[in-house]
A and B are shown apart, each in its own frame.
Chain A
Amino acid sequence: MSASFRPSLPVLIRREHASPAIKLVAPPAALGLATLLNLGLYLLMGRDPGAVFHAMLLEPFLSWASFSEVLLKMGPLLLIAQGLAIGFRAKIFNIGAEGQFILGAIFASAIPIWLPQATGQWIWPAMLVLGALGGALWASLTAFWRVRLNANEILVSLMLALVAAQLLNYLLLGPWKDPAGFNFPQSVMFQYDAMVPILIPGTRVNVSLLIAFAFSLAAWVFMQRSFAGYKLQVGGLAPRAAGYAGFNEGRAIWLSLLIGGLAAGLAGAAEVAGPLGQLQRSISTGYGYAAIIVAYLGGLHPIGIVFSALLMAALYIGGDNAMVSANLPIAAVRVFQGSLLLAYLVAMAFVRYRLEWRHAAHGSTP
């Protein structure tokens, strides 16, 4: 009966063992597929695909100046994605990291805005701590709504991200606006001690990249080596088994959201205390959403995420390049990001399944 409505269609057959080889090949294959599709789109738009390819995917790596900018962008993406991946593996979908990032930036900015005269090397670490706290607090609202009120965390965290963007607008147009800022929606410039120290002299790369790598290592230890991380993963893979084993679902939700919020808040703090040096409306160019793609593209694995964060950061810088040199709208980066995740999800299907062509009528293989 079932065969009659799929005439000679390819059928997915579940593999007995997931193929580890394909698991490694899938991300580069997805990148290749997404690149081809997008170059086709640029051709349709009347751009020179070769020039865009060069500007977008090669140039970021060709000079130290632009590669250092890639490393600068990599920091926040790496931090946020590591935090999100922990939750995603537990099937807890915090997609409002953008809001937690913004709250982190706001909390961190409170110190230099309220204490503009303060000096001392305690300021930037305190800002990072306060930012992480802000992000975790914002995420805890989602956790409360999910655990106590049973509300879907996807929708609540996303709504809170939209609210956070309005809160930022309110502060920058109202109480925190720079009085000497010609009415631009931005705060005063922060004092020197509010800046995270530069890591690589001559570039804008600062110590927060080290923090992101340290957090990655911690995420790896947590997920691969700790019992708490193990419980989270069981909860994601086999919720019923986790229930029988007595693993507390509520605790898993709190833990996932707090870690995700903390990492995103830290990233937000590091942005205002780093390359920006002030609170602005454009503190995030969609890092919170891009990090979702980074997390998946890295296979939700701490090591994979390091590579996918580097790729996504390069895409941001490359997109800026292509805007200047090939007159490509910056929205092309978002199109690339979305299609990259789609291509990856298709490629990953082949880790668990293989294609078999079947003729409909008798369900036999040719």
Chain B
Amino acid sequence: MNALEFIVAGMLAAATPFLLAALGEMVAERAGVLNLGVEGMMAMGAVVAFIIVYHGGGHLLGFLAAGLASAALSLVFAIIALGFRANQVAVGLAIGILGQGLSALFGKSYESLTVKGLPKLSLPWLSDIPVIGGLFAQDVIVWLSLAVTVAIWAIFAYTKTGLVVRAVGENPKAAHALGYPVIAVRFAAVAFGGAFAGFAGAYAAVVYTPLWADGMIAGRGWIAIALVVFGTWLTSRIFLGACLFGAVSLASLAAQATGLDISSQLLSSLPYLVTIVVLGVISSNRRLLKLNGVASLGEPFEH
């Protein structure tokens, strides 16, 4: 397998933790809530899924429990940031630290243990195509994530639910005046974001690299938050951005495997450097951000 085939085949799996976490954060932000605790919620989901799968509970239960645990953490965020109207940045950072701490605490006795991942499900015919065939052999979570991506896109494009979420994020006062429960919608959006961060962490810990190591999320939660900005709060662009980051992280692996003389530290920081550069390029287009940005993002709602 050459480097190109390696990247094509693995890109979607590498992209999945970014994609799930970023989609969840996108929903929360579209409702006007900035939850910076994604890294901690992913760490939480990761450890819960790992422990359950390690003890033979199976991947389904592992993912469900991870989603629940991270959603519970995000509800703590919601109660304090939305209920008590505390500064969302501060609450998000605290949730992040708490989640990473809990993850390290629960995962302590599982350090370096491994679990079995998930088998690849190949699409007939398509997966036999040379070079790009690997793209059509993915595990079930990747296929589900693709379906969910389309569903979220459709919800925001075509349904009233999507419209209500956006109204609450754009102009909560007007949404409230129209009779929509602003705080309830925001709670639901935050919980959705939490659950998806949990799924993302679970995928990272029990499918993508099914080995427990403290700090294994390694900034992917933060990159997911950045992806929401790259994708200018649009599902399709966030999907493309997640694929880009999946490819970048595989490219550094491929480069190491081919024995190129690049320091492994430089390769490890490649995703962070790409984030910084892309963030600069996208953000400098102020009109683009203004056009797609969420008007009331991060502001508490009082009526």
The residues of A with any CB-CB pair to B shorter than 8 Å are 1-2, 5-6, 12, 14, 45, 93, 95, 145, 148-152, 154-156, 158-160, 162-163, 166-167, 169-170, 173-174, 289, 292-293, 296, 329, 331-339, 341-342, 345-346, 348-349, 353
Contact of A159 among B265, B268, B272 (CB under 8 A): B272
Contact of B93 among A95, A170, A331, A335 (CB under 8 A): A95
- Cβ of A346 and Cβ of B179 under 8 Å apart? no
- Cβ of A166 and Cβ of B265 under 8 Å apart? yes
Map CB proximity to A onto B176-191 as digits: 1 under 8 Å, 0 otherwise: 1001010110000000
Q: Known pairs A2-B181, A151-B280, A331-B104; list 13 more (Cβ under 8 Å).
A: A5-B181, A6-B183, A149-B284, A155-B226, A156-B276, A170-B265, A331-B214, A332-B105, A334-B97, A337-B101, A338-B98, A338-B100, A341-B93
- Cβ of A151 and Cβ of B279 under 8 Å apart? yes
Q: Smallest distance from the beta carbon of A196 to chain B beta carbons, Å?
A: 29
* List of B residues within 8 angstroms of A151 by Cβ: 276, 279-280, 283-284
Q: Within 8 Å of chain A (Cβ to Cβ): is B240? A: no
Contact of A173 among B91, B218, B265 (CB under 8 A): B265
- Cβ of B263 and Cβ of A335 under 8 Å apart? no
Given contacts A2-B176, A293-B97, contact A154 B229 (CB under 8 A): no
A-B contact count (CB 8 A): 152
Q: Smallest distance from the beta carbon of B16 to chain A beta carbons, Å?
A: 21
- Cβ of A149 and Cβ of B283 under 8 Å apart? yes
Which of chain A's residues has its CB closest to B281's CB? Answer: A149
Q: Smallest distance from the beta carbon of A175 to chain B beta carbons, Å?
A: 10
- Cβ of A331 and Cβ of B85 under 8 Å apart? no
- Cβ of A342 and Cβ of B91 under 8 Å apart? yes
Interface SS of chain A: helix, strand, loop or mixed? helix
Q: Smallest distance from the beta carbon of A143 to chain B beta carbons, Å?
A: 12
Give the distance in Å from the alpha carbon of A36 to the alpha carbon of B9 in the complex. 50
* List of B residues within 8 angstroms of A154 by Cβ: 36, 89
Give the distance in Å from the alpha carbon of A293 to the alpha carbon of B268 in the complex. 28
Interface SS of chain B: helix, strand, loop or mixed? helix
- Cβ of A338 and Cβ of B280 under 8 Å apart? no
Contact of B97 among A2, A45, A167, A338 (CB under 8 A): A338
Q: Within 8 Å of chain A (Cβ to Cβ): is B160? A: no
Given contacts A151-B279, A158-B222, A341-B97, contact A169 B87 (CB under 8 A): no
- Cβ of A338 and Cβ of B265 under 8 Å apart? no
- Cβ of A349 and Cβ of B105 under 8 Å apart? no
Q: Within 8 Å of chain A (Cβ to Cβ): is B102? A: yes
* List of B residues within 8 angstroms of A346 by Cβ: 80, 84, 86
Give the distance in Å from the alpha carbon of A353 to the alpha carbon of B84 in the complex. 9
- Cβ of B101 and Cβ of A334 under 8 Å apart? yes
- Cβ of A156 and Cβ of B279 under 8 Å apart? yes
- Cβ of A152 and Cβ of B179 under 8 Å apart? no
Q: Smallest distance from the beta carbon of A162 to chain B beta carbons, Å?
A: 5
* List of B residues within 8 angstroms of A334 by Cβ: 97-98, 100-101, 104
* List of A residues within 8 angstroms of B273 by Cβ: 159, 163
- Cβ of B76 and Cβ of A342 under 8 Å apart? yes
* List of A residues within 8 angstroms of B99 by Cβ: 338
12 A-B pairs with CB atoms under 8 Å apart are A149-B279, A150-B286, A152-B229, A155-B229, A159-B226, A159-B272, A159-B279, A163-B272, A333-B101, A338-B40, A338-B99, A346-B86
Give the distance in Å from the alpha carbon of A76 to the alpha carbon of B99 in the complex. 24
Q: Within 8 Å of chain A (Cβ to Cβ): is B132? A: no
* List of A residues within 8 angstroms of B184 by Cβ: 5
- Cβ of A349 and Cβ of B84 under 8 Å apart? yes
* List of A residues within 8 angstroms of B91 by Cβ: 342, 345
Given contacts A149-B283, A335-B101, contact A345 B276 (CB under 8 A): no
- Cβ of A342 and Cβ of B283 under 8 Å apart? no
* List of B residues within 8 angstroms of A296 by Cβ: 90
- Cβ of B94 and Cβ of A293 under 8 Å apart? yes
Map CB proximity to A onto B255-288 as digits: 1 under 8 Å, 0 otherwise: 0000000010110110011011001110110100
* List of A residues within 8 angstroms of B283 by Cβ: 145, 149-152
Which of chain A's residues has its CB closest to B100's CB? Answer: A334
